[in-house]
Amino acid sequence: MIDWTAPPETVAPLLLGATLTHAGVTVRLTEVEAYGGADDPGSHALRGPTARNASMFGAPAHLYCYFTYGMHVCANVVTGPEGEGGAVLLRAGEVLDGLALARERRPGSSTRDLARGPARLVRCLALSLEDDGLPLLGDGAPRLEPTVTPVDPDRVQAGPRVGLRRAADRPWRWWLAGERSVSAYRPAAVRKKAPGG
């Protein structure tokens, strides 16, 4: 049983192997990433609640969706006490059910790549910003079902979060070793100074 009020770095590895179902597709989570509140420089919650991150400060076990890079939506599970701001980014998964629908939503993608990466996972599941704040437990959709049988701890690996410049060394990304759907690790790109700067 997951304590959804626990900090995101505690909940995150427990989500490996869980399933998320929405719009006719079910994905088994193979990679996740934790983001804390005011003590996490890499988190959207660092400076407190805003219109964009309000769900991150809401009730745990709800969805936090946000728009990034001007083109992608990413999905998170809110964790921790209400008002503190914390979430687990759903980074990658394996499509278990609804494969034909997932392929329609991600045309030309290999089976391995259908939900390999946070934006791809969201497209597979047809999640959108309109789903932000929805509850994840219960009979509705989207529906998150934690794994009944815990994954083999020897398969769980941890490392730095992807693409962060701040708190980049914090080992708050977890994945299942040997899963082809796990995304490739990429550190943040180094920003070049302008000439004369």
Position 191 confidence tier, pLDDT thresholds 50, 70, 90: low
DSSP string, 65-95: EEEETTTEEEEEEE-SSTTS--EEEEEEEEE
pLDDT of residue 170: 87
User: Which runs of consecutive H residues, i.e. helices, occur in the chain?
Assistant: 8-11, 99-105, 118-125
Contact between residue 92 and residue 117 where contact means Cβ atoms under 8 Å apart? yes
pLDDT of residue 157: 95
Around 81, how many Cα atoms within 13 Å sit in the side-chain half-sphere?
Answer: 2
**Extents of the domains making up the chain:** 8-176
| Nearest alpha-carbon partner for 115 in 93, 97, 88, 98 | 93
Q: What is the pLDDT of residues 78-126, one digit of tens each?
A: 999 999 999 999 999 999 999 999 999 999 999 999 999 999 999 999 9
pLDDT of residue 193: 57
DSSP string, 30-52: EEEEEE-STT-TTSTTTT---TT
CA distance 173 to 5: 19
pTM of the model: 0.91
The contacts of residue 70 (CB under 8 Å, 6+ apart) are none
Residue 61: how many CB atoms within 10 A of its CB? 17
Q: What is the pLDDT of residues 114-147, one digit of tens each?
A: 999 999 999 999 999 999 999 999 888 899 999 8
CA angle (96 as vertex; 90, 97 as ends), nearest 5 = 110
To the question of domain 8-176 being in CATH 3.20.20.70, the answer is: no
